[in-house]
């Protein structure tokens, strides 16, 4: 079970880091991928900073959790991704549904499940 969970964590790290790096340094197809038209410095800055930075940060936290075997890193990522998913659910309630929302929701739920089990398998939490 531990090897499977760790393999899924590695897959999650690769996915989140590649997406964050792609979005930060090569955001040319954001309109096709996300429906976001990056026109102007403010929109570019917001997309590269908070959005891409959050993805890269999550990937680095997962990497730290895998490397240190400290579940606090997994729990931090789990909390952040859970809040992102909550924001999506709230937006669906307030703004409506789009079929384009399904892939990111599936990925976020997958990450939450993987991080829950990754955190459960570790006994160490720094205090």
Please state the φ and ψ torsions of residue 86, each to the nearest 5 degrees: -60, -40
pTM summary value: 0.89
Q: Is the CB of residue 47 less than 8 Å from the CB of residue 23?
A: yes
Burial bucket for residue 6 (CB in 10 Å: 0-12, 13-18, 19+): middle
Q: What is the pLDDT of residue 110?
A: 98
Tens-digit pLDDT string for the chain (127 aa):
899 999 999 999 999 999 999 999 998 888 888 888 888 999 889 899 999 999 999 999 999 999 999 999 999 999 999 999 999 999 999 999 999 999 999 999 999 999 999 999 997 665 5
C-alpha closest to that of 13 among 67, 51, 60:
60
Structure tokens given for 86: 């909550």
Q: Is the CB of residue 27 less than 8 Å from the CB of residue 48?
A: yes
Structure tokens given for 54: 């959050």
Q: What is the pLDDT of residue 127?
A: 58
Residue ranges covered by each domain of the chain:
2-121
Going by the DSSP 8-state scheme, the letter that residue 35 receives in this structure is S
């Amino acid at each position: 079970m531990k090897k499977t969970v760790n393999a899924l964590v590695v897959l999650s790290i690769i996915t989140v880091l590649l997406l964050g790096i792609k979005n930060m340094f090569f955001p040319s197809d954001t309109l096709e991928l996300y429906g976001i038209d990056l026109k102007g410095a403010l929109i570019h800055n917001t997309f590269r900073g908070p959005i891409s930075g959050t993805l890269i940060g999550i990937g680095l936290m997962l990497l730290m959790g895998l490397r240190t075997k400290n579940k606090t890193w997994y729990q931090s990522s789990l909390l952040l991704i859970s809040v992102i998913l909550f924001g999506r659910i709230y937006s669906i309630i307030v703004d409506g549904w789009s079929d384009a929302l399904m892939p990111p929701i599936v990925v976020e739920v997958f990450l939450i499940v993987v991080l829950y089990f990754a955190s459960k398998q570790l006994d160490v939490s720094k205090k």
